Structures are given as structure tokens and as C-alpha cells.
């Protein structure tokens, strides 16, 4: 795994107890996982959900990839992954999902994926270049990376800077999907990360 710089500390990470406010049925009115992600995810895909939390997107992703696919759910917080695992069991998709406890130094040695999602979490990572290099390394050459950031916490200028950093590392903007309350970029690889 390529390491550009360490992610220092976890002071920016959303606390596990706050995720109950994000992970509720009313959120489907704002961010319906099937509507947002089905254009990019197919049965049999390997998908990585970075900052998976309690599985708001992970569980629908597992249903989209089906039994021939798999979803790696990466998070820094054991309580998030424990809650995700319980929810995946209730939804009958636990065998499709692999929870992975990341460290501040690496997202881990995962198999490359056709699709990677980082929804409303990249702003929590102080070392953007490190984070995007890790994502680039985990994405298959023809894969897609959907980066979405909350307009409430991330300015347009800061989001553009994140996208510029991604472009410098070998991503290009394939699309700018409209997602409510979000800055968004669908990124693809055009060359190897430095």
C-alpha cells in the first residue's frame, strides 16, 4: 500500500453515536442509495464503502452486487462496524459484506474494486493526498470513485481543491452527479498514482 503521509489523529471523525441521525429511514427522501448508486454498481462487482459507518449505503450496495459480488466496508471505529454487522445480518447480506477496521495509517490491503464510495466523509481526513492515493491504489483501472461531500461542512472551494488533488494523482472527472445537499464528483483513473 502506498503511503504518502499519515492521517494524523482522529479528531475530525464523526462520533459513532451521531451516525444514528444520518442512518434513518427519513434520509431515504434525501439520499436514496438505490437511486444514487445503481447507475455505477452491477451484480458481481467488488465495491468498497469507505467510511461505511453503520451501513446506510453498505447494505443496499450488498443487495446490488448480489451473492456473486462483495462489499468491503471500511471504517475507523469498531462500534460502527459492529452495528453494521448486526444490521447486515438482519438484512440477510452479512455473507456479502466484509467489515474492515482501518487505521489512521492505511485503508488496508484490499482487493481492487470496480466501484468505491466515499460519501460525506473525506472532509474528516486531514491528509487528503494520502487518502486519495489510497483510493487510487484500491480502484481497478476501469473503476469508478464517487466522492460526495456535504455542502453544510465543505465549501465549494475546498471541494474543488480535493478534486484538483485527485486529478494530480491520476483521476479524471467522468461526471458531476447531482446529489442533494452535496458537492459531487464521479472520478475514474487515467494513470497510476504517484
The CATH number of the domain holding residue 111 is 3.40.50.150
Which pTM was predicted?
A: 0.87
Residue 183 lies in a domain: yes
State pLDDT tens for residues 94-104.
999 999 999 98
In a domain, 27, yes or no: no
- Mean pLDDT, rounded, of the chain: 88
Residue 174 belongs to a domain? yes
Q: Can you give the residue range of the structural domain that contains 63?
A: 42-189
**Band (29; pLDDT cuts 50, 70, 90):** low
Residue 166 domain-assigned?
yes
Instruction: Please indicate, yes or no, if residue 145 is contained in any of the structural domains.
Output: yes
Residue 9 belongs to some domain of the structure: no
Q: Is residue 1 part of a domain?
A: no
Give the model's confidence band at 2: pLDDT under 50 very low, under 70 low, under 90 confident, else very high.
very low
Question: In total, how many domains does the chain have?
Answer: 1
**CA 171 to CA 175: how far, in whole Å?**
12
Which pLDDT does position 190 carry in this prediction?
Answer: 77
The answer to whether position 3 is within a domain reads no
- What's the pLDDT score for residue 3? 29
Q: What's the average model confidence in pLDDT over 104-116?
A: 93
Amino acid at each position: 500500500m502506498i503511503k504518502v503521509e499519515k492521517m494524523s489523529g482522529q479528531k475530525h471523525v464523526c462520533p459513532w453515536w451521531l451516525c444514528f441521525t444520518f442512518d434513518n429511514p427519513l434520509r431515504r427522501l434525501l439520499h436514496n442509495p438505490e437511486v444514487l448508486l445503481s447507475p455505477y454498481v452491477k451484480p458481481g462487482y467488488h465495491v468498497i464503502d469507505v467510511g461505511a459507518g453503520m451501513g446506510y449505503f453498505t447494505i443496499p450496495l450488498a443487495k446490488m452486487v448480489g451473492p456473486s459480488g462483495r462489499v468491503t466496508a471500511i471504517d475507523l471505529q469498531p462500534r460502527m462496524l459492529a452495528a453494521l454487522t448486526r444490521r447486515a445480518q438482519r438484512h440477510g447480506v452479512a455473507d456479502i459484506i466484509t467489515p474492515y477496521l482501518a487505521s489512521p495509517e492505511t485503508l488496508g490491503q484490499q482487493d481492487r474494486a470496480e466501484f468505491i464510495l466515499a460519501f460525506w466523509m473525506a472532509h474528516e481526513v486531514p491528509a487528503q493526498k494520502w487518502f486519495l492515493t489510497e483510493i487510487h491504489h484500491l480502484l481497478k483501472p476501469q473503476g469508478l470513485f464517487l466522492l460526495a461531500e456535504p455542502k453544510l461542512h465543505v465549501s465549494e472551494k475546498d471541494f474543488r481543491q480535493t478534486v484538483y488533488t485527485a486529478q494530480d494523482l491520476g483521476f479524471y472527472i467522468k461526471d458531476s452527479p447531482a446529489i442533494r445537499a452535496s458537492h459531487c464528483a464521479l472520478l475514474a483513473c487515467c494513470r497510476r498514482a504517484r
